[in-house]
Structure 1
Amino acid sequence: MVILTGSTLTIDEIERVVYQSERVDIDDKVLKLVEENRQVVQQMIDEKKTMYGINTGFGKFSDVIIKEEDIDDLQLNLIHSHACGVGEPFSEEISRAMLLLRANALSKGYSGIRPVILQQLIDFLNEGIHPVIPQQGSLGASGDLAPLSHLALALLGEGEVFYKNKRMPAKEALDAANIAPLTLKAKEGLALINGTQAMTAVGIIANLEMEKLLIQSEKIAAMTIEGLQGIKDAFDHDLHIARGHEEQIQVASRIRDYLEDSNLVTSQGELRVQDAYSIRCIPQVLGACWQTLYYAKEKLEIEINAATDNPLIFSHGNKIVSGGNFHGEPIAFAMDFLKLGISETANISERRIERLVNPQLNDLPPFLSPNPGLESGAMIMQYSAASLVSENKTLAHPASVDSIPSSANQEDHVSMGTIAARHALQMLQNTRRVVAIELICAMQAVEFRGIEKMASQTRELYEQARAIVPTIVKDRIFSKDIERLTEWLRTSEMTHVELFET
């Protein structure tokens, strides 16, 4: 059970809730604070005080005063008008993460909502009701307005949800789960959609997937080193200590560990003096990729416990402040930085693929073909990898350098953080396919060298992957092999902790 306090949620807990359907509850102190702050909102309404989003319009309409009898309609109109998301929906995992993150942000008690709003989010999580949320349409400032509006629609029994492996009208799922649709009161619509929960949810999923893929990439690179009879001296501990980057040191240590009992690696001067950079510089490059991951993780860990709506209510109602905590710039920068690490993981992997298939660069069968000339072998797999790497380079362009004014220039600078996060996730999918292609090629190469000479750890990976993709004995439709191995890497239990302990 994960208990929300508004300030203690961790990425590990998010992973358990999203992927293992761990149940969620709210700390009793949170409910008390939420109720107290709700009374402040009601008092402002009773005293006819003017406050943004409670009895005023939104954005450029912030100077328009709303009649008391229209205050509840204002919130419903906000959700309806802002539900302008387009494109394919986010995955159920991302939708689920958004529910959890929004509930945690509202648990801070600064938003002026009724406890029933918070409880509805928790009920959706525990019942497995996941709003259908289109991916496109957020500028990443004023919060993720369009995506979060689609989330809010479902709480009201409108829009669509995923429920029990089916996409259906939200009202149908609510009836099946015996949950009553919400009716919004003052401030509550705004509290639900002012925030960075779409970009943060996508960012967390990307962070988790990137961590797993980096570990997989290292172990697959170790197998490639064996297939190319690489020089082990490049991973010497003293060499990497001399530079001092901790992530580089750790990558080198893991590569040494993977290859400890290999009879396929060589020493400098035995076959050649130095390997190409895509082999020799694995710790330097992948170590730097880990650095992008750690930076993004640090910012995400702050954001998951942040109050990101507007206005916020402090000191039991003695201070109400309108500000801009919904601006996604910190996450936009973090996601754009993470994209560099994702891009380079694929980039160096593709260069190792080239060294495995190019007969001018090795003594292996040309293109790892079982019958060179008559059969092309892995020739076009390298083409596919190169295409994916090139696409990643386009997607790696920083989304955060762009801004288009909105709401008649009231909201004149935005982060595009959700675009950055979406592109990071898209790049990860591309990179996983590149790494899968490297694994296919590395397995062919070590078979040529003699799998009995492999290190025990890379041999274990070889046997697991060979159960998914058989040896290439003749040309076949390799697209199917790539996709099967990619899915295996995505769902594999090859985790960070497991590999660190091996």
Structure 2
Amino acid sequence: MSYNYLPLDRKWLSFQQVKNLLDYQQLVSITFDAHERITRCRQYLDEKMDTSDVLMYGINTGFGFLQNVKIDSGQVGQLQYNLLTSHACGLGEEVPADIVKLMLMLKIKSLSYGHSGVQIDTVKRLMDMYNHNVLPVIYTQGSLGASGDLAPLSHLSLPLIGLGEVYFEGEKQPSQQVLDKLGWRAIQLQSKEGLALINGTQFMSAYGMYCLKKAEHLYAVANLVCALSFDAFNCIVEPLHERIHRIRPHKGQASAANDIRNYLHGSQVMQQPKKEVQDPYSFRCVPQVHGATKDVLETVLNVFLTEINSVTDNPNIFPDEDLIVSGGNFHGQPLALHLDFLSIAMSELANISERRIYQLISGQRGLPLFLVKDAGLNSGFMIPQYTAAGIVSENKQLCTPSSVDSISSSNNQEDHVSMGANAATKCLRVINNVEKVLAIELMSAAQALDFRRPLKTSPVLENLYQAFRKEVSFNEADRVLHDDMMKAIAFVSNIKTPSGTEV
């Protein structure tokens, strides 16, 4: 079996497969089973259109409040074309390329079950777009997260009919221009296809999976950087003792304590006699705080794995049962709630990290004030803590939940919406902010550790320190720290953390 592509069909898609898809630039392909199910469903729908005059929502009727308007059989293709054009109303920033790729893959995955009624050529074209890196220009604003991600998915689908814009070969270009370059004809949409393409939760789901991938990495980084801060602040190891966590057996708590304890194993600093009996909560309670975040990550991941292994358009077609059923699988409430939960949980990693930064620069435990020689003449690490504090406060504001909001649309036909798209985009903002704060903590901990020399920390943490010092040198006197901070963020983003920290 070849591993350079991801097969898509009814089989369960795992988190590891999603991560591999992004990390190794895999291609995608539906399987023979998926091909058969898609073509069978389309054939069933064509036969139904030929033999029945029953109103079928979005197939031979208008959409939303216009559900009772019958569409003539000769106009069903135009109806689907009009749907894509009229719903492509996105605004705001452009969606990052990796998330666009996830949206394409997840849309193919959802269609592969054979309950959506699309023609096989449409699915093949989506695969071609993914595999040739023809990435639609999609915008972050426009979805209410309830009738599916209508506006974003419309922009995803416009290139199928030669409209909209795409990124191809490093440039933003009109879709039709790229179709001509590749010798592709625009897809002639058939009944139900436009609705199948834009009904669905692939915008929210793609953001969620991307956020979870990054969150898993940053959780591991948070434990690693925190362990360096433990030694830099000359902390006590007892709060990491396994017996403490055995009698409060939250899975994440025990895991976090175990990770940090292992990272500190062999540290000369940790073996020195300690004057203090207890450390501040930002050190002493790290297993409880970081561990709670890990438990949330696992909960959120389970919800999103269920979602990406689902069919979320409307109506749903069941050829074996001779059924076409209209429902609400496109409603993003499960995603909205858990994206909010993920934002809150991840923001706490930055919240407690900023407190450790504050402790490190406070002039305690033999460390110089603001971690610099000649404090007063030099401000040292005073202002990076300001930056971290501002970012943490921004996260607190972003963590106001989107999922408690709703607004009526489509002339009150769609009278409760999830706001999951807003939850998704701000969740990524929160997670990117966490990365910045952890980078500032790493800078601060490395600087503090230099004042502990000649004592060494553990082998694992010495490796971390030495790798970081190749990017950011010791701060002997005041310099432009923005440059150091940007290097630290890049380092945190790309750092290879020790194994055993997966969600």
TM-score by length of 2: 0.96
Alignment pair present for 1:60 and 2:82: no
Contact 1:329 1:417 in 2 (8 A): yes
Alignment pair present for 1:27 and 2:56: no
Contact 1:25 1:122 in 2 (8 A): yes
Alignment pair present for 1:415 and 2:418: yes
Q: Which residues of 2 match residues 42-441 of structure 1 at below 5 A?
A: 42-47=46-51, 48-265=53-270, 270-316=274-320, 318-359=322-363, 361-441=364-444
Q: Which moved more, 1:411-420 or 1:363-372?
A: 363-372
Q: Which moved more, 1:462-471 or 1:434-443?
A: 462-471
Per-residue CA distance 1:139-188 (angstroms, 9 max, x = gap):
00010000000000022221111112222112222233333221211100
The CA distance in 2 between the partners of 1:135 and 1:343, in whole Å, is 21
2:466 aligns to what? 463
Contact 2:27 2:131 in 1 (8 A): yes
The CA distance in 1 between the partners of 2:116 and 2:204, in whole Å, is 20
Between the two proteins, the alignment pairs up a number of residues equal to 497
The CA distance in 2 between the partners of 1:452 and 1:174, in whole Å, is 63
The CA distance in 2 between the partners of 1:496 and 1:140, in whole Å, is 37
Per-residue CA distance 1:27-51 (angstroms, 9 max, x = gap):
1121111111112221222123320
Contact 1:127 1:177 in 2 (8 A): no
2:499 aligns to what? 497
The CA distance in 1 between the partners of 2:59 and 2:431, in whole Å, is 41
Q: Give the superposition deviation at 1:101.
A: 0.1
The CA distance in 2 between the partners of 1:184 and 1:93, in whole Å, is 27
Per-residue CA distance 1:430-470 (angstroms, 9 max, x = gap):
11110000000000111000164211111100011111111
The CA distance in 2 between the partners of 1:362 and 1:333, in whole Å, is 43
The CA distance in 1 between the partners of 2:454 and 2:128, in whole Å, is 52
Q: Give the superposition deviation at 1:6.
A: 3.2
The 1:135/1:257 distance shift into structure 2, 3 A limit, reads: same
Amino acid at match of 2:422: I
1:15 aligns to what? 19
Per-residue CA distance 1:76-113 (angstroms, 9 max, x = gap):
11000100010111111000000000000000100011
The CA distance in 1 between the partners of 2:69 and 2:230, in whole Å, is 67
The CA distance in 1 between the partners of 2:288 and 2:201, in whole Å, is 33
Per-residue CA distance 1:34-70 (angstroms, 9 max, x = gap):
1111122212221233200011000000011111221
TM-score by length of 1: 0.96
Q: Give the superposition deviation at 1:375.
A: 0.7
Amino acid at match of 1:143: G
Q: Which moved more, 1:22-31 or 1:230-239?
A: 22-31
The CA distance in 1 between the partners of 2:262 and 2:182, in whole Å, is 51
Per-residue CA distance 1:323-371 (angstroms, 9 max, x = gap):
0000001111111111111110000000000000012x44311101222
Q: Which moved more, 1:45-54 or 1:55-64?
A: 45-54
The 1:451/1:310 distance shift into structure 2, 3 A limit, reads: farther
Q: Give the superposition deviation at 1:220.
A: 0.5
- Aligned pair partner of 1:41 in 42, 45, 51: 45
Amino acid at match of 1:145: L
Contact 1:36 1:316 in 2 (8 A): no
Contact 1:6 1:106 in 2 (8 A): no
Indicate the SS of the match to 2:393.
Answer: helix
Q: Which moved more, 1:321-330 or 1:45-54?
A: 45-54
List runs of 5+ in structure 2 lacking aligned partners. Answer: none
1:486 aligns to what? 489
Moved over 6 A (4+): none
Q: Which moved more, 1:100-109 or 1:470-479?
A: 470-479
Indicate the SS of the match to 1:399.
Answer: coil
The 1:167/1:463 distance shift into structure 2, 3 A limit, reads: same
Q: Which moved more, 1:365-374 or 1:282-291?
A: 365-374
The CA distance in 1 between the partners of 2:488 and 2:95, in whole Å, is 23
Q: Give the superposition deviation at 1:317.
A: 5.6
Amino acid at match of 1:421: A
The CA distance in 2 between the partners of 1:235 and 1:102, in whole Å, is 44
Q: Give the superposition deviation at 1:266.
A: 5.3
Contact 2:251 2:295 in 1 (8 A): no
The CA distance in 1 between the partners of 2:390 and 2:196, in whole Å, is 43
The 1:131/1:496 distance shift into structure 2, 3 A limit, reads: farther
The CA distance in 2 between the partners of 1:251 and 1:289, in whole Å, is 10
Indicate the SS of the match to 2:172.
Answer: strand
List runs of 5+ in structure 1 lacking aligned partners. Answer: none
